[in-house]
Structure 1
Amino acid sequence: MLRTIRLTVAIVCFILITLLFLDFTGTLHTWFGWLAKIQFLPALLALNIGVLIFLILLTFLFGRIYCSIICPLGIFQDIISWIAGKKTKNRFRYSPAVKWLRYGILGIFIVSIIIGLHSVVALLAPYSSYGRIASSLIAPFWQWGNNLLAYFAERINSYTFYETDMWLKSISTFIIAIITLGTLVILAWKNGRTYCNTICPVGTILGFISQYSIFKPVIDTSKCNSCGLCARNCKSSCIDSRNHTIDYSRCVTCMDCIGKCKQGAIKYARPIKKINFTENNQVTTEQINDARRTFLSISTMLAANTALRAQEKKVDGGLAIIEEKKIPQRATSIIPPGAKNFRHFAQHCTACQLCVSVCPNQVLRPSSKLQNFMQPEMSYERGYCRPECAKCAEVCPTDAIHLSGLAEKSAIQIGHAVWIRENCVVLTDKVSCGNCARHCPTGAIQMVPLEQNSTDSLKIPIVNTERCIGCGACENLCPARPFSAIYVEGHQMHRTV
């Protein structure tokens, strides 16, 4: 019964979280966006104390049930392991914990947070890892299916579905998603939860707490006949059937062992400890040191985070092919409105790709730069940041992007426009344009005569950098190719205009 409940809740959570990354309309976030906010690392970076207390108490009461029910990466590994189990039964066996690897990776993770190596944090974070897989590898198939439905719907004069652009937003993020997926599939296919119990830093932290959980799987030695069936079905490889012990730091409370035990020797209950004061049962110095190291690691991580705080058209009228725009060389990258500044954004963003997935204007994409690797940045080849849209802030689980409303967004200057004289069609083709000024939502661009004393003179744009908010409408709608004659230069520190 307990296993059935766990499986049901896990499947529902997994499907809904996956749909959050696939839903390019952003409508599901209204009802189920909280599932992203209760993930451990996003809650930690957002200093969401309520969620953190809930997850810690949940683990203290029931063990690492977070890893089996809430974490999408953990559930994904269970699915792979389940498929592999259809071919080979009873394929697991007990293996001792690789403590040096677990705590070594946790140490690297903590140091990376402290010194600001956010790309390493994003690589190791389980929720972010699954987000990259969903948005880079699963979403294209979802969009292809949507476009196919839109194609057939259009043939019967129905507009229930509409086509969306399918394009590769970042080759580096795509490659990392493939490598991550391959690693997970291999490990889960062979050894179940190896990734969770050797690499995942969140699993290591929760594993320390789960050792002291109130309810946990308990072996009744009076009923156990040491058949080893529980150990051969434990995907965490944490049951030592010979010695009748379970490594609770690695147990993910999947309940599989309870269902497999034919003797009814394993129950999910509160263990009764037998006190024995013999010399053999005394706590060793090594155990004390291990406990101290784990406690200090978790304390350092929490303290460090508290300190850090806080439809592109391809042709013109169906006749001439339009040359694609190239990304300009910006001295400073552009980060979304509500990110405040580069430091705040880098410290809080987990690079989960949720905002990239739901951006309706195709403006956000994962960065390929080392200093903010895989974190979203803005570029305006396919669209611009519309003043009436705040989807990225609505779905961000860590408050790395935070907006109180659309009025605030329209007043935030994330960059300023720069005019490139030699690219402007007014000068290169001797034609009248004014596209940039006509579409500027803040009126920051005005057209002035090229020749002051001539009434028939062509007009060129001038930019009022004090009024410009860096939305990119001018850059996106500029007809110049391959580089726009006007582009947006980002600001490291956003300000209100």
Structure 2
Amino acid sequence: MLKKIRVTLAILCYALVTLLFLDFTGTLQGYFGFLAKVQFLPAVLALNVVAIIFVIVLTLLFGRIYCSVICPLGVFQDIFFWLGGKRKKTKHGRFKFVKERRIPRYAILGLFIVGLATSFPAAILIAPYSAYGRIATYILSPIYKLANNGLAYMAERMDSYMFYSVEVWNKGLVALVVAIVTFVILGVFAYFKGRAYCNTVCPVGTFLGFISRFAIFRPVIDKSKCIHCGMCERNCKSSCIDSKEGAFDYSRCVSCMNCIDKCSKKAISYKCRFGESTGASTTKMETLSTENVDSNRRKFLGIATVLAAGTIAHVRAQDKVDEGEGGLAPIKDKVIPERFSPIAPPGAKSVKNLQDHCTGCGLCISACPNDVLRPGKDLKPVVSYERGYCRPECNRCSSVCPTGAINKISLAEKSSTQVGHAVWQFDLCIVTKDGVECGNCARHCPTGAIQMVSPDPNDPTKRAVPVVNTERCIGCGACENLCPARPLSAIYVEGHEAHRKI
């Protein structure tokens, strides 16, 4: 029964977290966005005290149930573990007890902490939530959108508009390659080795593993019933059960309940450790029954989920962005200009804050309806305006970020936040190069920061060229995106290392 409850909750959490990355309408974020914010590493980076306490208390009560239910990468590995168990030769199990590799585990954890503190890009590669986020963003999301487009095509043939097509494009080659490599390595590793990654490499697993040594509720072997058949050991995906000694390594146990489900003698039960016997038998009446533990566990998870959900604000769905605004040339023809400083999205406060807190999960990139965000070489988001611009009426990226890399910002605050300023290039402008009238940048500037003036004050009849008021410009990129000059825009946005208020 405990395993069925665990599996049900794990499937639910996994499906909802995955949909947060796949949902291009933004409607699910307001309801289930708390699941991203209770992921342990994002909660630590965002200093989300409620989420941190929730995970730690959950681990102290029930062991590493977080790794089996809440962590999407853990459930992702369980899928491959389950597929591996379908092989005929693994019918009776395929694992054996392995002693804890404590030195490598804590060495990796220490290096990971140093890497995060110094913003070393390689550190985020092993962060569990962000690793799965990249898989969902760069592999699963395009497949999901292609399926949606197929449904939209069929619905259109039946005069139905239940679905609408969305553009599918490669947002970053480096990020895609990293996601594919992560998918293959972890999938193969889990297929053959179960949770070896979680108990050797994963820094969150190592940290929670230390806490789970002191968990109140945990699986216990009743030595008076155990016949040492080894069935529990062979089916333990964490390789943490020593059936000969009748003992668990609780730092590696992920509370999957497989051992309880597989034991034909009912020698393993989920008990309160304060009621365990020190003798050969562990069947004293003062230990909690499985049914009571099950009931308490469900109540705790239910209350904690409601409390977490209540702290997350509802996110409005944004309108789909139309491509080719104003009948301009296709956006795909644009080339990224060379910027002296990258552009951090509104709410990031500064490039440094983004670098210090971002784990490169890609959730903000998935959520951006304007195709403005894309992964940089370090897998962290950068702003670029080849396919759209950062519309003043959208603040979705700041609403979904769970790490504090992009802080929640209101629409009013966004409209007064200067992430960069526009720079006009004389030699690329079609007014000066081709001798034609334009003014597209000035017409579409939402803040009125661009004015068209005559280049000669004594001759107002000359064709007007754009002049940028850098004090009013917020760096939204409307001018750069809608400039008809190709392949480089005649006006582009130069980023600010630290954002300013205007």
Structure 2 gaps, min length 5: 280-320
Q: 1:418 aligns with which of 413, 420, 423?
A: 423
Aligned to 2:283: none
- What is the CA deviation profile of residues 39-65 of structure 1, one whole-angstrom value per residue up to 9, with x for unaligned ones? 000111111111111111110110000
Q: Distance in 2 between matches of 1:160 and 1:459?
A: 46
Q: Does structure 2 retain, via aligned residues, the 8 Å contact 1:133–1:177?
A: yes
Q: 1:438 aligns with which of 418, 438, 443?
A: 443
Shift of 1:323: 6.9
Q: Distance in 2 between matches of 1:182 and 1:345?
A: 29
Q: 1:113 aligns with which of 116, 120, 143?
A: 116
1:454 aligns with 2:456: no
1:100 aligns with 2:103: yes
Q: How does 1:379-398 map to 2 (within 5 A)?
A: 379-398=384-403
What secondary structure does 2:43 align onto? helix
1:244 aligns with 2:246: yes
Q: Distance in 2 between matches of 1:184 and 1:20?
A: 21
Aligned to 2:4: 4
- Alpha-carbon distance change, 95 to 355 in structure 1, aligned in 2, over 3 angstroms: same
RMSD: 1.8
Q: 2:337 aligns with which of 322, 328, 331?
A: 328
Q: 1:184 aligns with which of 171, 186, 210?
A: 186
Aligned to 2:414: 409
Q: Does structure 2 retain, via aligned residues, the 8 Å contact 1:316–1:322?
A: no
Aligned to 2:262: 260
Q: How does 1:213-362 map to 2 (within 5 A)?
A: 213-271=215-273, 272=275, 324-362=333-371
Q: Which amino acid aligns with 1:38?
A: V
- Alpha-carbon distance change, 312 to 485 in structure 1, aligned in 2, over 3 angstroms: farther
TM-score normalised by structure 2 residue count: 0.88
- What is the CA deviation profile of residues 18-46 of structure 1, one whole-angstrom value per residue up to 9, with x for unaligned ones? 00000011110010000000000011111
Q: Distance in 2 between matches of 1:127 and 1:11?
A: 16
Q: Does structure 1 retain, via aligned residues, the 8 Å contact 2:63–2:218?
A: yes
Q: Which amino acid aligns with 1:67?
A: C
Q: Distance in 1 between matches of 2:191 and 2:476?
A: 46
Aligned to 1:495: 500
- What is the CA deviation profile of residues 117-145 of structure 1, one whole-angstrom value per residue up to 9, with x for unaligned ones? 2x233212100000000000000110001
Shift of 1:105: 0.7
Amino-acid identity (%):
58
Q: Does structure 1 retain, via aligned residues, the 8 Å contact 2:332–2:386?
A: no
Shift of 1:492: 0.6
- What is the CA deviation profile of residues 213-272 of structure 1, one whole-angstrom value per residue up to 9, with x for unaligned ones? 011010111111110000000000100111111110000000000010011111110234
What secondary structure does 2:223 align onto? coil
Shift of 1:274: 5.5
TM-score normalised by structure 1 residue count: 0.89
Aligned to 1:16: 16
What secondary structure does 2:475 align onto? coil
Q: Distance in 1 between matches of 2:327 and 2:482?
A: 16
- Alpha-carbon distance change, 323 to 269 in structure 1, aligned in 2, over 3 angstroms: closer
Q: Which amino acid aligns with 1:438?
A: R
- What is the CA deviation profile of residues 63-83 of structure 1, one whole-angstrom value per residue up to 9, with x for unaligned ones? 000000000000010011001
What secondary structure does 1:267 align onto? strand
Aligned to 1:41: 41
1:427 aligns with 2:429: no
Q: Does structure 1 retain, via aligned residues, the 8 Å contact 2:331–2:387?
A: no
Q: Distance in 1 between matches of 2:484 and 2:327?
A: 14
Q: Does structure 1 retain, via aligned residues, the 8 Å contact 2:372–2:387?
A: yes
1:65 aligns with 2:70: no
